[in-house]
Amino acid sequence: MSDINIRISGKAGRITLTRPDALNALTYDMCMAIDAALLAWANDDTVQVVVLDAEGDKAFCAGGDIAEMYHTGTKGDFDYGRRFWRDEYRMNARIFEYPKPVVSFLQGFTMGGGVGIGCHGTQRVVGESSQISMPEVGIGLVPDVGGTLLLALAPGRLGEYLGVTNTRMGADDAIFAGFADLYISQSDWPGLITALEADGDPICLTEAATTPEPGRLRDLQDDVDRHFAGETLGDILITLRGEDSAFAAATLKSMERNAPLSMACTVEMLHRLRGSLLSMRKALDLEYRFTHRAMEHSDFLEGIRALIIDKDRKPQWKFADMNVPISAVGKMLQPLHGDALTFEEG
């Protein structure tokens, strides 16, 4: 497959995304190829570590290739998108639950679907160019591919903030928020991958790690926790609108570009997930409740039209005044029963 290069090199199972001109966006076939490789290597003693990387300087993976979802969805065919998300989420769970070390090297943009393959492993490496984000609410979706698990585990209320503002995280921010583990200069990555192939031991990564330049999130924590402590999107908006500060103004400006229904559902999802019963499968199940309904009942198709197809950047969102009824959130997140996400064991 020209979009991805999967092979065994020494003691490492290697998965390299090879469509840099498309910012290594994931297609359905790429997702399935990754899943098949992981399944095959799980019980292969030859493979002691899995290494995920990508060609090009601009992006590890800028998300899923959603053009086909738009074209099928606008014709009333929702099955393709639902199959894509269902099978992608199963692959995300496989990475998270994998019995062997999974190392990812995350240069440039790692967004959406890229987080799903790059940020659930055991050693997630960032460098000078890394920019990680969950921007789904900007296209009428919600953070998915297991991203709600990471957001729910982020310090304080950073999960809500990152999930509804599309904020991009550099290396230090990503480590602080729990999306990455190690900062290593990108010039050292090729040599480290060679070492992983030679001995299959990720200890070399820890030895090579250094401290990145300070990010912004640590300094914003108090503001974030104060403004995002409410139970609903409406609560958050009340506090932001009631404060005359640079943080409140900038945050509101970011949120005003995004789909209100998506933001409201994101806040609700994180509140439901936090607690002792939090798990990857629970997060993916909740995400799939939204995405299964996304093309038919949310702003997803309109978001894709406005930002990717027509590029007029003027989406006509539902609940444009940001007053999202609790009932609308409940309908998007209610159980799917017979259509619920399931996980194949193996």
Region 4-29: what's the mean pLDDT? 97
Percent of the chain topping pLDDT 70: 99
Split at pLDDT 50, 70, 90, the class of 345 is low
Split at pLDDT 50, 70, 90, the class of 1 is low
Q: Is the Cα dihedral 289, 293, 294, 298 positive or negative?
A: negative
Q: Residues near 55 by Cβ (< 8 Å), separated by ≥ 6? A: 16, 17, 18, 19, 20, 24
- CATH domain 1-346 topology: 2-enoyl-CoA Hydratase; Chain A, domain 1 (3.90.226)
Cβ of 52: how many Cβ atoms within 10 Å? 24
* Domain ranges for the chain: 1-346
Region 299-310: what's the mean pLDDT? 95
The torsion angle over the Cα atoms of residues 109, 129, 179 and 255, rounded to 10 degrees, is -60
d(CA 48, CA 6): 15
Among 244, 289, 292, residue whose Cα is nearest residue 265: 289
Percent of the chain topping pLDDT 90: 96
190: pLDDT strictly greater than 90: yes
Q: Are 26 and 61 in contact (CB under 8 A)?
A: yes
Global pTM value: 0.97
Ramachandran angles phi, psi of 302, nearest 5°: -65, -40
154: pLDDT strictly greater than 90: yes
Comparison of pLDDT for 264 and 2, the residue scoring more = 264
290: pLDDT strictly greater than 60: yes
